[in-house]
Amino acid sequence: MSKLEDIVSLCKRRGFIFPGSDIYGGMAGTWDFGPLGVSLKKKIMDEWWKFFVEDREDTYGIDAAILMNPRTWVASGHTATFADPLVECKECKSRFRADKIAEGINESVTTEEFLNTHTKCPVCGQENWGPIRKFNMMFTTHVGAVLPDDDAETAEKNVAYLRPETAQGIFTNYKNVVDTFYPDLPFGLAQQGKAFRNEISPRDFILRDRECSQMEIEYFVNPNTWEENFETMRELQHEFLEDVIGLPKEKLHELEVPAEDRAHYSKRTIDFMFNYPNGEEELMGLAYRTDFDLQNIARESGKSMEYRDKVTNETFVPHVIEPSIGVERLVLAVLSTAYFEDEINGEKRTVLKLPENLAPYKFCVSPLLKNKPELVEKAKEVYNTLRKKYGNVTWDDSGNIGKRYRKQDEIGTPKCIVVDFDTLEDDTVTIRDRDTTEQIREKIANL
């Protein structure tokens, strides 16, 4: 099993993921994706979009604004309920999310229940806690011209929030899509985009951060058919995660969330758990949101959210099945699955066995010797040909060929192509496989 610190080290060393604002000392809960990381992330998001949107006839994509009318978050319940239990150590003044540092409690924990766990402060080791307080995780900002000396009432009128989820941008566009496309039920609206949560104690690398990307679908169904649609969507998540992304079945587990732990809008939720290096954590969720969101929008806006069935002429407010996944969590699941350490010819090797559809580079092209112009020229010819054909091809002529192989193994490049003196005679190249390290000769025309 890979260790989280090894993955973090590789990500920074090879340009996948850097600490946010690292040059200024960083900022907790923020991460920057480097050249290889952004490629991996984009490939994952593109695979999701193709699987759930482009390859389906019943799902439409949208891209809603990050800043939304504050009434959105009143209607959704976020203003009142989007809060975590915060507890402060009286000794060192450190603050934590109570349910993440104590065993056997959930986010609805009371002060008494927390104190009865006799949890010691992770920072100073003392057991001297203040009361549990609810901390709303939405980031607040101001829209328009707000000055420091404005009175509280003026400032309050300009308050807005960075969205804590992408779902509400979908729900607020439900009526727009129905009015313009009038799709048959069931149909889905899909969105990818940034979400912001002011986590009390961000931790575990990109697993729990303050700025993340989400991929969500709101699948609108007839209330009478929600169970069969829920089951279909559940099976689709497994197909995507296992067959498209390549996560091992044995590391994925379904957790049926009990009523007391479900979100306020959910009547059924399955959490898809994954065995990360630091333990089992939530990878994604599948929730039956009923008509909670559309009914709330109808009440807050005064506009009908009813759908008229094209066949029966029946009108009703659709219910919703929601698969929701955090991109960074999926990136970490992919990295931890791909990370291996082995030994080649007595030498330790680190290798990322990324699926070919996700690897930042499909090929690495090299001349055997960079000080031989004829080899470099031929290698550049091969490189340019493959780059036009595949796009994601890299060039490497640094160090000896063994060091190049090790570097490409670490970043997950499936195949290394080497142009040598035989290439100049017969137009064949050496192709070296990342996972097996086996080498074969192949005609350039067949690449």
Q: For residue 292, give the nearest of 325, 315, 268 by alpha carbon.
A: 268
Give percent of the chain above pLDDT 90.
73
Q: For position 155, what pLDDT does the model report?
A: 67
When pLDDT is averaged across residues 8-21 and rounded to a whole number, the result is: 94
User: What is the distance between the alpha carbons of residues 379 and 367, in angstroms, rounded to a whole number?
Assistant: 5
Q: For position 198, what pLDDT does the model report?
A: 85
Domain chopping of the chain, boundaries = 4-77+171-335, 361-446
In angstroms, the Cα distances linking 238 to 234, 246, 248 are 7, 10, 10
Give, for 31, the enclosing helix (H) or strand (E).
Answer: strand 31-33
* pTM metric for this prediction: 0.89
What's the pLDDT band for 135 if we cut at 50, 70, 90? confident
Q: For position 202, what pLDDT does the model report?
A: 78
**pLDDT per residue as tens digits for the range 168-215:** 999 999 999 999 999 999 999 999 999 998 887 777 899 888 999 999
Residue position matching structure tokens 């209607």: 75
User: What is the distance between the alpha carbons of residues 327 and 331, in angstroms, rounded to a whole number?
Assistant: 6
Yes or no: say if 37 and 15 are a contact pair by the CB < 8 Å rule.
Answer: yes
Q: Which of helix, strand or coil describes residue 319?
A: strand
**pLDDT per residue as tens digits for the range 271-322:** 999 999 989 999 999 999 999 999 999 999 999 999 999 889 999 999 999 9
User: What is the distance between the alpha carbons of residues 170 and 131, in angstroms, rounded to a whole number?
Assistant: 37
Record: fold of 361-446: Rossmann fold (3.40.50)
User: What is the distance between the alpha carbons of residues 414 and 368, in angstroms, rounded to a whole number?
Assistant: 18
Give, for 226, the enclosing helix (H) or strand (E).
Answer: helix 226-238
What letter represents residue 303's amino acid? Answer: K
Radius of gyration from C-alpha coordinates of the chain: 26
Q: For position 1, what pLDDT does the model report?
A: 64
Sign of the torsion formed by the C-alpha atoms of 31, 45, 337 and 210:
positive
CATH 3.30.930.10 fits 4-77+171-335, yes or no: yes
What's the pLDDT band for 152 if we cut at 50, 70, 90? low
The DSSP call for residue 89 is: B
Q: For position 396, what pLDDT does the model report?
A: 94
Residue 153 pLDDT > 80, yes or no? no
What's the pLDDT band for 81 if we cut at 50, 70, 90? confident
Give, for 171, the enclosing helix (H) or strand (E).
Answer: helix 167-171
Residue 232 pLDDT > 80, yes or no? yes
Q: For residue 321, give the nearest of 262, 242, 266, 255 by alpha carbon.
A: 266
User: What is the distance between the alpha carbons of residues 385 and 445, in angstroms, rounded to a whole number?
Assistant: 10
**pLDDT per residue as tens digits for the range 24-52:** 998 888 999 999 999 999 999 999 999 99
Give percent of the chain above pLDDT 70.
98
**230, 231, 233, 235 alpha-carbon torsion, rounded to 10°:** 160
179 phi, psi to nearest 5 deg: -70, -30
When pLDDT is averaged across residues 379-383 and rounded to a whole number, the result is: 95
Q: For position 201, what pLDDT does the model report?
A: 76
Q: Pull the structure tokens for residue 261.
A: 């732990």
Yes or no: say if 410 and 428 are a contact pair by the CB < 8 Å rule.
Answer: no
Q: For residue 394, give the nearest of 364, 367, 369 by alpha carbon.
A: 364
Q: Pull the structure tokens for residue 444.
A: 């350039």
What letter represents residue 77's amino acid? Answer: G
Terminal CA-CA length for the chain:
35
Yes or no: say if 196 and 140 are a contact pair by the CB < 8 Å rule.
Answer: no
**167, 172, 176, 181 alpha-carbon torsion, rounded to 10°:** 20
In angstroms, the Cα distances linking 117 to 93, 199, 209 are 19, 22, 26
User: What is the distance between the alpha carbons of residues 211 and 196, in angstroms, rounded to a whole number?
Assistant: 5
87 phi, psi to nearest 5 deg: -130, 140
Yes or no: say if 323 and 270 are a contact pair by the CB < 8 Å rule.
Answer: no
Q: What is the mean pLDDT of the chain?
A: 92
Same fold, 4-77+171-335 and 361-446: no
Q: Pull the structure tokens for residue 326.
A: 């955090």
Q: For position 244, what pLDDT does the model report?
A: 97
Rounded to 5°, angle at Cα 294 from 312 and 174: 75
When pLDDT is averaged across residues 409-424 and rounded to a whole number, the result is: 95
User: What is the distance between the alpha carbons of residues 338 and 349, in angstroms, rounded to a whole number?
Assistant: 13
- DSSP for 336-404, please give it: HHHEEEEEETTEEEEEE---TTT-S-SEEEEES-TT-HHHHHHHHHHHHHHHHHHS-EEE--SS-HHHH
Residue 156 pLDDT > 90, yes or no? no
The set of residues, in sequence order, having a beta carbon less than 8 Å from that of 184 and lying 6+ positions away, is: 58, 310
